[in-house]
Amino acid sequence: MTTAKPAKFIRRRDTWLWDMLGGRYEIPMGWFASRFRFLGEALQKAEFRRDAAIVPQRGDRSNLASVEISGGRDVKYVIVYAREVPESWQPGIQETLIYRRDVAGTDLVYDLTGEFLQGKARPFECDLRKLPLRVYAVLPFQVESLDLAIQQRVEVPEGRLADHHAFDLRLKVSVRFLDAAGSVVAGRIPVAWEICRHPAGEPVGGYSLVDAEAGDPTEIGAAIAPEDGKWTFAVRSLLTGDEATLPFSLVGVAGDRAKETSLGSEGLTVRRAPRPVQLDNL
């Protein structure tokens, strides 16, 4: 793991990426900051490997560069980025990527930018014709299913429900990614989430990092207009685009008797991703 300042490890023309992370580069990269904040923080702290698991086939002659960031025991993240961001009148970059020698051919590669399984660790084309970088994850096995459990009864003091002001909901959730044998993927994985009043409320959403390696539930915080009744919580995997949804109830209780309830998964529905995310929508 590199511990020195990143400027010592990158070429002068590579510095746009760190400039962007420091807010000094004007480029529409809000999608990166919101989805992958943990990767940006690791880059700023120089917590990365320069000899990444995925590298450009052309080596030093490539227009691309890559860095690797650990996501835990089973997950490696690789950011592949353009060494120079093309001007609007220049063609974008499309090059072949290969792997570090210790990466097994049976490992699986996921494209987190498009939220789909790229395939086994074989050479493939990296398309940077519309974006200056892409984020990949390398795992030793395929993620087969998404498991979700949440607090399905959330107790709130009745006074908070009555005033109809914004309420800071704290919802405990457990998101796990499983392989074909039902074993949990040990690592930190980003997800998108959404909370909505059933059946037709205005959704509130965001992105979080779930840590299956630690095994602790993740606390989701959202400012909502508190209303007694049925709500839904949905989570989407940025690995595969698969979605899981669970209902929960917001229940008013007298005085300060609200207590934390256990997690459940009754009424769980899982929807497989229909198609990769369109780059134009990022």
CB 239 within 8 A of CB 115: yes
CB 169 within 8 A of CB 224: yes
CB 77 within 8 A of CB 136: yes
Provide φ and ψ at 106, rounded to 5°.
-90, -5
Write out the residue limits of the CATH 2.60.40.1930 domain(s) in the chain. Answer: 145-281
The predicted model gives 214-234 an average pLDDT of 83
**Which range has the worst mean pLDDT, 12-21, 143-152, 218-227, 251-260?**
12-21
pLDDT confidence of residue 18: 53
**Which range has the worst mean pLDDT, 199-208, 215-224, 250-259?**
250-259
Q: Is the pLDDT at 171 greater than 80, yes or no?
A: yes
- Please name which of 21, 86, 85, 12 lies closest in space to residue 48, comparing C-alpha atoms: 21
Report angle CA 268, 273, 276 to the nearest 5 degrees: 155
The predicted model gives 251-280 an average pLDDT of 76
Query: Whole-number mean pLDDT of the chain?
Result: 82
Whole-model pTM: value is 0.83
CA–CA gap between residue 40 and residue 92 (Å, rounded): 23
What's the CATH fold of domain 145-281?
Immunoglobulin-like (2.60.40)
User: Among the ranges 84-93, 127-136, 181-190, 193-202, which has the highest mean pLDDT value?
Assistant: 181-190
Q: Is the pLDDT at 26 greater than 70, yes or no?
A: no
CA-based R_g, the chain, Å:
21
CATH number of 6-139: 2.60.40.1180
CA–CA gap between residue 132 and residue 26 (Å, rounded): 13
Write out the residue limits of the CATH 2.60.40.1180 domain(s) in the chain. Answer: 6-139
pLDDT confidence of residue 257: 65
